[in-house]
Amino acid sequence: MTTIAASADQRLPFLDGRPKQLLIGGQWADAASGRTFTTANPSTGATIAEIAAADATDVDRAVAAARAAFEGPWSRLTPAQRQGLVWAVADVVEANFEELKFLESVDMGMPIGSAPAAGAEHAVSVLRYFAGFATKLGGDTLPNSMPWEILTYTLRSPVGVVASIIPWNSPINNVLWKLAPVLATGCTMVLKPAEEASLVPLRIGELLAEAGLPDGVVNIVTGPGETVGVALTEHRDVDKVAFTGSTATGQAIVRASAGNLKRLTLELGGKSPDVVFADADLRRAVAGATMGVFMNSGQACTAGTRIFVERPIYQDFIDAASEYAQKLTLGDSLDPGTRIGPVVSETQLDRVTGYLGIGADEGARAVVGGQRAAGGSLDDGYFVEPTIFVDATDDMRVATEEIFGPVACVLPFDTVDEVVQRANATSFGLAGGVWTKDLSKAHTLAHRMKAGTVWVNTYNLFDPAIPFGGHKMSGWGHECGPDALDAYLTTKAVWVRTD
């Protein structure tokens, strides 16, 4: 395995050594308790910042600020003014994108040299896409069957205060995907970042002020999920929760939201199938399916961790995928040559390496990887070797449970009906992939696979105009696309007797 040691002692004004505060009502403030927690660079294990640890008192303040903004100056802006502010946010994020990429890399381990799809234009495109809707959120004039002269029409109004709870695996995109529909529809937000990756959201909070966003429209409360997250999801003055994270946490949010029947959108876990047919372009399929698992060290909800390969090319695929994986450069996330960075934390390292042991105990065999990466500069960070298991069966834990690390199971299959059944034999339904030159097979799998997204001869492509969401235990609702707006809007029917 190739390794790179990179210097991580770059400093930016944001990393000035001072504890990071909460953003409430346009003001930066310490947590009411005065407590903080630390965040570490997963490439080195070194502490990089202290961050305010909010509690229920801070959540109350943040929700009150969001409510005041919703019912105050923010609600009085015209759609065109709101659209202009969303464009201004996009511009300021784009102008500071390199700093945000640095923070993302040093805080959660995303390789700074990631593919162009992770660039500024792609990141801010969701803001510009939803900005266009701000002036187009009209209702309808509808016919009715009353015996009098009655005008009936509908109004679409913002739902209110939104609690946005995001994970740590891609903080730039996670913030912007939640922020864009909130601003476009006229809602306000209380953002709760993951403890493991709070720096990007906090820096974006500073940039929102530069863009001219009114105080209280976006508030940021950092801290543990068991206090901050619970307080938000149970809060009687929060109208909607937009959550991305684990299925278990999503289930807890459903229960917590019952108090005031909050609206929910939940983008949850996955154990996605990626199906490679014998007629596929093997070179492209190997690269696409392999990076469909190993990108961001496997820390992606869509990761295609169950790779089903048609039996005639099964061994060829394993040989080529193993060679490909061994050539991936593993190292410090700040080095532009790194392809595989660390997992986010020591806790996540223990989780992933625990599954490596479970796989071996169950009888799966690692043809490449299979253990914590070590040696030189890797010893201080949280690195896991990209791992490919063979001799696995569909019922093994490594083939059924979401690992959230660079771990794939390659499984042989013989027929279309068989692989459809096996691909769908999971409680998850977030995404899937198909590799074939046969259009009939491609469309058959795309129609029969029980997943919210199916990629054909590619993997992990996203666009703000295309809805993204899960089936089954992978969630409710969509992010991106026109469908996403409905979760942030209420419909009111108006009856006017005119005779």
- What residues act catalytically? 267, 301
Annotate 214-247 with DSSP letters as a single string: PTTSEEE--S-IIIIIHHHHH-TT--EEEEES-H
Instruction: List the structure tokens of 489.
Output: 């809007």
Residue 486, H or E segment: helix 483-486
Return the SS3 of 378: helix
Where does 322-364 show beta strands of DSSP type E? 330-331
d(CA 165, CA 202): 14
Where does 325-451 show beta strands of DSSP type E? 330-331, 365-368, 387-390, 407-413, 428-429, 431-435
Annotate 43-84 with DSSP letters as a single string: TT--EEEEEE---HHHHHHHHHHHHHHHHTGGGGS-HHHHHH
Cα torsion angle, 282, 426, 446, 459, sign: negative
Tell how strand 471-472 and strand 428-429 pair up. Answer: antiparallel
Residue 31, classified by CB atoms within 10 Å of its CB into exposed (0-12), middle (13-18) or buried (19+), is buried
